[in-house]
Amino acid sequence: MDEFQHLQKEQETQNGQAYGQPPQQGIQPVAPQASMTQNAGYAPVSASEHRGGMSLIVTVVAVLAAAAAVSLVSILIYRGVASSIAPRSEQYADFNLSVAESPQTDTTIKSGDTVLTAAQIAAKVRPSIVGVITTDNVNLNGAESGEGSGIIIDADGYVITNSHVIGDSTKYDVSVITEDGKSYAAKVLGYDTRSDLAVLKIDAKGLPAAEIGDSTKLVPGDYVVAIGNPGGLQFAGSVTDGIVSGINRIIDSSDSDSTSAMRYIQTNAVINPGNSGGALVNAYGQVVGVNTSKISMTYYEAMSFAVPSSTFTEVVHDLIDYGYVQGRVKLGISCSVLSDAYENQGIPAGLQIREISSESDLNGKAQVYDIITHCDGTRVKTLSQLQDIMFQKKPGDTITLKLYHPASATKAAKEYTVKVKLLEDKGATD
């Protein structure tokens, strides 16, 4: 679904697009505009144009009658060449725009503070946010091919970021830039395309590690802050805020197994290209999510998504210990949801199979366009309902599916049951 965008800053190179340019379909990186600071609709005027315009104005005004002298004075004041001219009226002579003294925001977290202000959250978490630069020295002649964000999760140099920030690979050169500007070569300990997470290791000690919070405690309406590097290092440590808009949101990419679709925190905190791998922080200054994607379509606003800490804490340990995530299962199919509206046509609601992979145990047992209606005797109409059952399984386990085969021109519709062995879902690896 091309409406979903990853938030990595992709840059053009001499050889065309940066590494790993995705196809038009699916979750895509966002390319930055030519100038991120250009004012829309503003055409700069050169100094010579100003001088030429002034000469014309003075020439024209000089031939006017003396009664037009006031107009001349007004024009000169507007152009800034007659600053010593008296005020236009005594009526405003006493006007003076004063600036009040503003107190300095106190970002110190005092004993007893629980819920923090945005400024306190930023002061606490920003030192833990890093820049992640990925370079393809083989194909791009050393050109910077991607900039994103990362989070220091351990003082001994462990950093978490998005898998797409490092090109979903271990073959690229990756460096980490800490808040104090120091640059470190990073080793990719592992990455996982399903969760879009990667773990990096840099040779450093005593780093300011972020405090990790429990994302399962979040509820819609909770205050959150997003911290990262929109646009890359130029805007490093940018802070935006919002609320939790939803939890357990499923985003299904067209290039993945639908039954492996991830669940995310949805928020309206503004995130942009370069925020990938940055932190979503709760009101207590704890990282509860890793920002990863947003919906970017006409008529859609402020729909951003983060991998919850309940997911990334498990993924991180497996990536460090094994280089991939263990114990996850998949059916090896992609499918779409058929709502109850189709039941008026005699077609049951459920999950309609769109594709069956060559490794799936459903090969030869089911067909594309068949509809899954039950799993282990439980009625399923949504991906969430099917996943809730599969999350309790391990690779090699067998589940029982009940399916509906639609009628054709030569055959009547039928229901049937099959047993299917679940595959291990390791995510894509090198």
Judge whether 73 and 81 are in contact, CB under 8 Å: no
In the structure, how many helices (H) and strands (E) does the chain have?
A: 5, 22
Output the DSSP codes for 362-410: TBTTB-TT-EEEEETTEE--SHHHHHHHHTT--TT-EEEEEEEE---SS
Annotated catalytic residue, options 128, 163, 238, 276: 276
Which of 177, 294, 278, 273 is CA-nearest to residue 231? 273
Distance CA 361, CA 349 (A): 23
Residues pairing with 416 in the sheet: 403
Which tokens sit at 109? 């977290």
211 CA to centre of own chain: 21
**Residues whose CB falls within 8 Å of the CB of residue 182, separated by 6 or more in sequence, listed in order:** 204
Amino acid letter, 361: D
Residue 276 appears among annotated catalytic residues? yes
**Residue tagged 């830039």 (tokens):** 177
3-state secondary structure of 393: coil
* Residue 200 structure tokens: 């990096």
Please report where in the chains the tokens 């090109």 appear, as a residue.
Answer: 167
CA distance 342 to 125: 49
**CB 252 within 8 Å of CB 354:** no
Instruction: Answer positive or negative: Cα dihedral of 286, 291, 295, 299.
Output: positive
* Candidate list 196, 241, 370, 425, residue with the active-site label: 196
Q: Which residue among 136, 164, 318, 334 is the active-site one?
A: 164
d(CA 358, CA 348): 27
Structure tokens at 370: 């068949």
Q: Which residue type occupies 18?
A: A
270, β-bridge pairs: none
Token code pair at residue 7: 């938030």
Specify whether 196 is catalytic. yes
CB 189 within 8 A of CB 183: no
Active site positions, annotated? 164, 196, 276
